Amino acid sequence: MASEWGPLEGLIGEWESDKGGLDTAFSHAEGKVLGTPYNEKVTFKPFGPVDNGDQHLFGLDYKTAMWRNDEENPFHTEVGYWLYDGATGEVLRGFVVPRGITVLAGGKASADATEFTLRAEKGAPLYTIGENSYLEKNASTLSYEVTITIGDGTWSYKEDTVLKMKEFNEPFHHTDGNTLSKAK
Ligand code: HEM
């Protein structure tokens, strides 16, 4: 099913999961690494083209939020854009985590791909990460990698955010994954 949105076509719409998500992070409240199940709601709205000279991008306006249990406020949110360049097969995911982090992750995928991986690395010239001065000192994001798998009426992601945290000598793998089902 090739379209101008390429592999992003299958993500258009509204999605949710019921406790299918799993986050692994260091909890400051508990002073240890916790595995936390979560619910999630994701929205992707298509737009395009966006023209940069000869480049024609088609994108998805992206929002996600995750909740533990029945709490009112999400414990993690992201807003941003996912973009596809049909001429080169470049896929981009640019988003903000409201801890004061921006990520522009990129990779390549064919128009009909049902699985693709995007990466960003702190300090890299191309696909990179920006963060605030507190995080740079205490919990710096060294790299981000996500693999997206698109199925029939579902899609999944697995992501690995590598942090240099003051609590650990070795880089810490802050991981997340979920499978979303079509809500609308
Ligand atoms: C599904 C996605 C994610 C969820 C559910 C999530 C959730 C969490 C949780 C629960 C914490 C621990 C906070 C605490 O107790 O102190 C945390 C910490 C953190 N997360 Fe995430 N996170 C996600 C994705 C990301 C991504 C994509 C990034 C960056 C690219 C990121 C960067 C961080 C950083 C830097 C911290 C450490 C803050 C600190 O130690 O002071 N997270 N996250």
The per-residue pLDDT for 184 is 74
Query: For residue 95, what is the domain's CATH number?
Result: 2.40.128.20
Q: Which of 113, 117, 114, 115 is nearest to 105 (CA)?
A: 117
The per-residue pLDDT for 106 is 98
d(CA 169, CA 172): 9
Q: Which two tokens stand for residue 144?
A: 């981000």
Any domain includes 1: no
- The CB of 163 under 6 Å from ligand 1? The reply is yes
The per-residue pLDDT for 1 is 43
End-to-end CA, the chain: 19
* Range of the structural domain that residue 109 is part of: 6-182
Q: Which of 112, 125, 117, 60 is nearest to 86 (CA)?
A: 112
Binned average pLDDT, 10 residues per bin, the chain of 184 residues = 87 93 97 97 98 98 94 96 98 98 98 98 98 98 98 96 98 98 90
The per-residue pLDDT for 61 is 98
How many residues does this entry show for the chain? 184
Residue bearing the CA closest to ligand 1, atom 4: 76
Q: What is the pTM of this model?
A: 0.96
- The CB of 76 under 6 Å from ligand 1? The reply is yes
Any domain includes 144: yes
Any domain includes 85: yes
The per-residue pLDDT for 18 is 81
Number of domains into which the chain is organized: 1
The per-residue pLDDT for 19 is 76
**Probe residue for ligand 1, chosen from 101, 122, 134, 161 as the CB with the greatest number of ligand atoms within 8 Å:** 161
